[in-house]
Structure 1
Amino acid sequence: MTAKNLSTIIEFILLGFSDHPNIQPWLCQLFSFVYVTTLAINILLIVAVRTDNRLHNPMYLFLTNLSFLDICYTSIIVPKMLLNMVLSAKTISYAGCILQVYLYLFMGETECILLAFMAYDRYVAICNPLRYNVIMNIVFCTRLICFSWVAGCSIASFDIYFICHLKFCGHVTINHFFCEAPSLLQLACGDISVDNIISLVGGSILLLMPLCLILFSYIQISSVIVKLPSGRYKAFSTCISHVIVVTIFYGTSIFMYMRPRNSDTGMTDKIVAVFYTSVTPMLNPLIYSLRNKDVQKALGQLTRRTIVLRWQTK
Structure 2
Amino acid sequence: MDRRNCSSMTDFIFLGITDNAVNKVILFTIFLFVYLITLLANLGIITMIRMDPQLHTPMYFFLSCLSFSGLSISTAVGPKMLVDLFDKNKSIPFYGCALQLLVLYTYMDRECLLMAVMAYDWYKAVSSPLLYAVSMSSRVCSLLIAGVYLVGIADALIHMTLALHLCFCVSNKINYFFCDVAPLLLLSCPDTQVNELLIFTAFGFIELSTISGVLVSYIILSVLKIYSAKGGLKAFSTCTSHLTSMAIFKGIMVFMYFRPSSSYSLDEDKMTSLFHILVILLLNLLIYSLRNKDVKQTLKKIEE
- 2:206: which partner in 1? 206
Question: How far apart are 1:224 and its partner, in Å?
Answer: 2.4
- Does the Cα contact within 8 Å between 1:4 and 1:167 map onto a contact in 2? yes
- 1:122: which partner in 2? 122
Amino acid at match of 2:223: S
3-state SS in 1 of match to 2:186: helix
- 2:92: which partner in 1? 92
- Does the Cα contact within 8 Å between 2:223 and 2:232 map onto a contact in 1? no
Question: How far apart are 1:232 and its partner, in Å?
Answer: 1.9
- Does the Cα contact within 8 Å between 2:170 and 2:189 map onto a contact in 1? no
The residue correspondences of 1:35-114 to structure 2 (distance < 5 A) are 35-114=35-114
Q: Which moved more, 1:56-65 or 1:168-177?
A: 168-177
Question: How far apart are 1:229 and its partner, in Å?
Answer: 4.1
3-state SS in 2 of match to 1:13: strand
Q: Provide, for residues 161-204 of structure 1, a one-character-per-residue CA deviation record: whole Å limited to 9, x for no partner.
A: 21122112231111111111111112111211222122222221
Runs of 5+ consecutive residues of structure 1 not aligned to the other structure: 305-314
Note the aligned Cα RMSD (angstroms). Answer: 1.8
Amino acid at match of 1:255: F
For CA contacts below 8 A with separation 6 or more, give which structure has more relative contact order: 1
- Does the Cα contact within 8 Å between 2:102 and 2:156 map onto a contact in 1? yes
Runs of 5+ consecutive residues of structure 2 not aligned to the other structure: none
- Does the Cα contact within 8 Å between 1:169 and 1:188 map onto a contact in 2? yes
Q: What is the aligned residue count?
A: 300
3-state SS in 2 of match to 1:92: strand
- Does the Cα contact within 8 Å between 1:76 and 1:103 map onto a contact in 2? yes
- Does the Cα contact within 8 Å between 2:63 and 2:289 map onto a contact in 1? no
Q: Provide, for residues 244-286 of structure 1, a one-character-per-residue CA deviation record: whole Å limited to 9, x for no partner.
A: 3322221211111112221441221111101221112222222
Question: How far apart are 1:239 and its partner, in Å?
Answer: 3.6
Amino acid at match of 1:265: S
The residue correspondences of 1:175-254 to structure 2 (distance < 5 A) are 175-218=175-218, 219-225=220-226, 227-254=227-254
> Partners in 1 of 2:163 and 2:149 — Cα distance?
21
Q: Provide, for residues 62-114 of structure 1, a one-character-per-residue CA deviation record: whole Å limited to 9, x for no partner.
A: 00110011111100001110111121111111111111111111111111211
- 1:308: which partner in 2? none
- Does the Cα contact within 8 Å between 1:48 and 1:302 map onto a contact in 2? no
- Does the Cα contact within 8 Å between 1:38 and 1:71 map onto a contact in 2? yes
- Does the Cα contact within 8 Å between 1:59 and 1:118 map onto a contact in 2? yes
Q: Provide, for residues 211-247 of structure 1, a one-character-per-residue CA deviation record: whole Å limited to 9, x for no partner.
A: 222222122223224x434322223344444323322
Question: How far apart are 1:289 and its partner, in Å?
Answer: 3.5
Question: How far apart are 1:20 and its partner, in Å?
Answer: 4.0
- 2:265: which partner in 1? 265
> Partners in 2 of 1:146 and 1:168 — Cα distance?
35
- Does the Cα contact within 8 Å between 2:252 and 2:272 map onto a contact in 1? yes
Identity %: 37
